[in-house]
Amino acid sequence: DWSSDVCSSDLFPSHDTPVERLNAFRNTFFNISTNVNLIFKFVQGKSEKQNIETDVIVLNISENMNDGKTYHWFEYGVKFLSEFASYHKLNGIVKMDIDCAVDWNRFLNVFFPFLNENYYIGRVNDLTICGGASHCPPQDCNGFYDNCWIYMSGGWYSLNYNVAHSLIFNCKFPKQNIYGPEDLMVGKWIQNCFKNVSIFNVKNGDFFCHDNSITNNIIINFNNNQC
């Protein structure tokens, strides 16, 4: 997930440029060793500076952060996966930020095989982590039950295809509530549409590191001692 403001070079440490940042993510693919079919895309809305490279998806929306981009990314991902000839129950869609480093081998070989269908995996945000505001999850909630709900931090999280498909095509609430803190809204969508999720809470540093000090070198050579 990258936007016009995130791709401003003055936001990258060590003078990393936007082009170098995209290439750093591309280079991670040379180090992935797994039987899982991982498809990687950069996602942006329409803007004056369009990128026409084949791994860049330009959504049919204006570039934004909290005005529906996450919804339209999951909509795109669900439609994209639905065209696959072979279906696997663990198929999923990842949303991650451009200031996040991921050890894809660790995730795909250690975490992914043990996920349950209908998973929602990432770093759980409860009332305290959210900041205690009125729009945050209720106190003492650690899942989706009764009036409880949580959401995953925006640096990296993944929804099982079944869950994402239900949110996009089987429930009106998400499309009617696409505006607001984008990652928090995903939790609200699930609360209103699909409570039967398998939550996997992984701390920042298990296989990904979301931090504004992330450099291109860390993205390419990440290990879980760097976060």
**Average pLDDT of the residues of the chain:** 89
**In this structure, what are the phi and psi dihedrals at residue 122, rounded to the nearest 5 degrees?**
160, -165
- State both tokens at 55: 């791994």
Greater model confidence, 5 or 61: 61
Supply the pTM of this predicted model: 0.90
In whole angstroms, give the CA distance from residue 1 to residue 112. Answer: 21
**In this structure, what are the phi and psi dihedrals at residue 151, rounded to the nearest 5 degrees?**
-150, 165
Structure confidence by residue, pLDDT tens digits, 162-202 = 999 999 999 999 999 999 999 999 999 999 999 899 999 99
Q: Note the pLDDT of residue 4.
A: 40
- State both tokens at 142: 């650690």
Structure confidence by residue, pLDDT tens digits, 27-36 = 998 889 888 8
